[in-house]
A and B are shown apart, each in its own frame.
Chain A
C-alpha cells in the first residue's frame, strides 16, 4: 500500500497535513491553542474541537461517532495542561473515503495518522507518537492489512488498531475498534500484527517529519 504524506500545506491554520493511503485521502488542519468559547472552556486542560466532514454529502451521526473515536485517541496523547482554558480546533476533511458508507475503519485509521502529522506541524505538545492501521478478515479467515474497497466489502469483519509509539516501538494500545464476525484468537493476532504494522507506518512518518523540518523556514538562512 502506498502512503503519501505532506505537511504545512494550508496557509490560514497553524498546522496541516494531507495523507493519502491507498484509496483514502484525508486533509487535516489544526488551529491552536486559540481562544475557547466559554461553553467549551475547561479550567485545567485544553478543549478539543474535532470536526470531521465527509467527502460527499453533509455530516451525519456517522461522522459524529468518528469524531468521538478520534477524541478517545487524542485526549490521552495531547498534553492538555500546557493549554488550560484554550481550544485546539481540529478540522478533518475527507477528500476520498475509499470505502462504502457502512464501513469506517479505513477512514478512521487514515484520519488518526493524518491528525498525528498535523498536530506535529502545529507544534501542539504531544506526550507520545501514535499511528493506526486498518484490517479486515476475509471470508476464508485471512487477515488483510489495509484492505481495498472491494476487499472490505467482501470481508467478515473490519478492524482499526492504534498504538502509542515511543523510540520507534509500539508500546501501548491506544484504541481499537472491531466490528463484524471474528474470533477471540483473530483479535489477538490482529493486535500483534498491528504493532508491527504501525511501526512500519511510523518509519514513513519519521521521513515525512524530517522533510518537514528541513523545509521549515526557521532553519533556512
Chain B
C-alpha cells in the first residue's frame, strides 16, 4: 500500500511505433502536417509508365513470336505493375434478323420491334475485357480476395465506362487463296470492296489482360486502371484470314444408327504482319484516384501545442477537423483510414464513371476529392502516358 506503482514512459523509434500502433503514429504525423510517406496531404504519387516492350508490335521488342498484343509497365513509388494484353477469337452468335438469307422475311414477321428493344439497352455496344490480377506475394496459391475484387471491379468499371465498343473488336476476316497466276495471296474486305466472304458468320476478338503487381504499398485500383488504359492504347489487333484450303471442312459426326450430319468449321489464322490499332472511345477515358478521409485526434495534437500552429496552415477548412488524404500509401494510412473515396472520371472531367464511397464522407470532402481527381485526370491525359 505504501509504494506507488511507478509508470515508466517507454520510447519507441518511429518505425517500431508505426508497426505496433499505426493509428497513433499516423496521428502524430498528421498533427505536424506530414504524412508518413513524406508527401503533403494533397500530393499524388508520381506515375511512370512505358510500353514495356513486351508486345509483338512494340518497336523495342525483337521477339515477333510473342502473343502479347499490347503491354505497359507502370512504376509508382515502390510498386510495379506489369500489364499484358492477349487476344482470342470467338464466333459471334449472330442474331438471325441481322444476317440471314431470308432475313427480310423473317424480320417482317418476328422481329418487328427488335430494333427499338436493342437500342434501349445501355450496355449493348460496350465490350468487356477479362482481367486477371496477380499480386506477387512470393508464394503460389488460389487468388486472394483482394485479387478477385480488383479484377471484378476492373471488369465492371471498364464495361460500364463504355471505353471499348464491340464494333472495334470485330474481326474482318480475309480469305487466303490462289489467284490466277497461281500465287498465294490473302484478300481482305477493306482492300477489295467487291470481295464478299462466303460464310455468313462473324467473329470477334476478346481481350484478356493480365496484371502482375510487385511490392504493393497501397490501394491498387488506380494503378491497375492507368496501366490498363495505357496498354489498351498501344494494343494492336492482327488481321485474320480463313485459309481457303482449310475452310469449309465438312466433318461427319459419328453416330450409331442412320443419323449423320455435317458441321462447317473454319480455321482462322492471324496475319503475321498486318495489324490495326485498337480503336478506343477516347472521350470516355479518364483516370482513377483514391482518397482517404481521416479525422484528427485532438488528444494527439494537443500534446504538441507548438505544432498545432503548423497544422492550422495545412488544413484549409478550419472548422472541419477531418483531413483528406490523397493516394493512400503504406500500412499506417490503410489501416487508419476507414473512410475512403474512389473516383473515376471521363476525359473532359465533366462526368464521373465510377464513384465508391465507404464510410462517413461529408460533402465538402467529396467535392474536394472529385475536384482533385478531375484535375489529376487532366494532368495524366496531358502527360500522354
Report A-B touching, CB under 8 Å.
Answer: yes
Inside 8 A of A180's CB, which chain B residues have their CB? 122, 160, 353-354
Are B354 and A76 in contact, with the CB atoms below 8 A?
A: no
Segment from A18-26, A87-95, A182-190, A196-204 that makes contact with B: A182-190
Q: Are A173 and B357 in contact (CB under 8 A)?
A: yes
* Chain A: minimal CB distance from B345 (Å): 9
Please report the C-alpha to C-alpha distance between residue A72 and residue B350 in the assembled complex, in whole angstroms.
Answer: 28
- Which stretch from B95-103, B314-322, B358-366 is at the chain A interface? B358-366
The reply to whether A68 and B357 form a contact with Cβ atoms under 8 Å apart is no
| Given A65-B148, A176-B357, A188-B363, CB of A181 within 8 Å of CB of B153 | no
Q: Report yes or no: B160 in contact with A179, Cβ–Cβ below 8 A.
A: yes
Q: How many B residues have CB within 8 A of the partner chain?
A: 35
Q: Is A61 an interface residue (CB 8 A)?
A: yes
Q: When the two chains form their complex, are residues A176 and B153 in contact, meaning their CB atoms are under 8 A apart?
A: no
Closest chain A CB from B197 CB (angstroms): 32
Q: How far is the CA of A164 from the CA of B361 in the complex (A)?
A: 12
Contact bitstring A153-194, B, C-beta under 8 A = 1, else 0: 111111000001000000011111111111110011001000
The answer for the CA separation of A139 and B120 in the assembled complex, in Å, is: 9
Chain A positions 96 through 133: 1 when the CB is less than 8 Å from some CB of chain B, otherwise 0: 00000010100000000000000000000000000000
- Residues of A with C-beta under 8 A to B157: 179
| A150 within 8 Å of B (CB atoms) | yes
CB pair A64 B359 closer than 8 Å: no
Q: How far is the CA of A164 from the CA of B359 in the complex (A)?
A: 10
Query: How far in angstroms is the closest Cβ of chain A from B79?
Result: 21
Chain A residue contacts of B155, Cβ below 8 A? 61
Q: Tell whether, in the assembled complex, residue B148 and residue A175 are in contact, meaning their CB atoms are under 8 Å apart.
A: no
Q: Does A215 sit within 8 A of B, measured CB to CB? A: no
Does B231 have its Cβ within 8 Å of any Cβ on chain A?
Answer: no
Q: A176 to B157, alpha carbons, bound, how many Å? A: 15
Chain B residue at smallest Cβ distance from A182: B352
Q: Mark B330-342, 1 if CB is under 8 A from A, else 0.
A: 0000000010000
In the complex the two chains form, is B160's CB within 8 Å of A183's CB? no
CB 8 Å contact bits of A43-78 with B (1 = contact, 0 = none): 000000000000000000110110010001000100
Given A64-B145, A64-B152, A181-B162, CB of A72 within 8 Å of CB of B352: no
**Is B329 close to A, CB under 8 A?**
no
Give A178's nearest chain B residue, CB to CB: B355
Tell whether, in the assembled complex, residue B361 and residue A102 are in contact, meaning their CB atoms are under 8 Å apart: no
Docked-complex contact B120 and A153, CB < 8 angstroms: yes
By the criterion CB–CB under 8 Å, are A183 and B352 in contact? yes
Contact A64 B148 (CB under 8 A): yes
Residue B351, interface by CB 8 Å: yes
**How many residues on A have C-beta within 8 angstroms of the other chain's C-beta atoms?**
34
For B370, list chain A residues within 8 Å (CB): 184
Residues of A within 8 A of B159 (CB): 102
Say yes or no: is B115 at the interface (Cβ < 8 Å to chain A): no
A182 touches B351 (CB 8 A): yes
Q: Which residues of B contact A158 (CB under 8 A)?
A: 160
Contact indicator per residue, chain B 349-385, by CB within 8 Å of chain A (1) or not (0): 0111111111111010001001000000000000000
Q: How far is the CB of A87 from chain B (nearest CB, A)?
A: 16
A155 to B157, CA, bound (A): 15
Question: Which B residues are CB-close (under 8 A) to A157?
Answer: 160
For A158, the closest partner residue in chain B by CB is B160
B51 within 8 A of A: no
- Across the interface, which residues of B come within 8 angstroms of A173, CB to CB? 357, 359-361
| CB pair B359 A156 closer than 8 Å | no
CA distance A20 to B216 in the complex (A): 41
Residues of A within 8 A of B352 (CB): 178, 181-184, 187
Tell me whether A61 and B360 are in contact (CB under 8 A): no
User: Scoring A residues 139 to 152 as 1 if CB is less than 8 Å from chain B, else 0, what string do you get?
Assistant: 10000000000100
How far does the Cβ of B331 sit from chain A's closest Cβ, in whole Å? 17
In the bound assembly, the distance between CA atoms of A72 and B145 in angstroms comes to 13
The CA of A52 and the CA of B153, in the complex, are separated in Å by 17
Residues of chain A within 8 A (CB-CB) of B153 are 65
Tell me, rounded to whole Å, the shortest Cβ–Cβ distance linking A191 to chain B: 8
A154 touches B122 (CB 8 A): yes
Can you list 19 A-B pairs with a CB-CB distance of less than 8 A?
A62-B152, A68-B145, A72-B358, A102-B123, A104-B156, A139-B122, A173-B361, A174-B359, A175-B358, A175-B359, A176-B355, A176-B357, A177-B356, A179-B156, A181-B161, A181-B284, A181-B351, A181-B352, A183-B350
A-B pairs with the 8 shortest C-beta distances?
A172-B360, A61-B152, A176-B357, A65-B152, A154-B120, A178-B355, A179-B160, A64-B148
Q: A157-B160, A173-B360, A180-B122 are in contact. List 11 more A-B contacts (CB 8 A).
A: A61-B152, A65-B149, A72-B358, A154-B120, A154-B122, A176-B357, A178-B355, A181-B160, A181-B284, A184-B352, A187-B352
Instruction: Show the binding face of B for A, using Cβ within 8 Å.
Output: 120-123, 145, 148-149, 151-153, 155-157, 159-162, 284, 338, 346, 350-361, 363, 367, 370
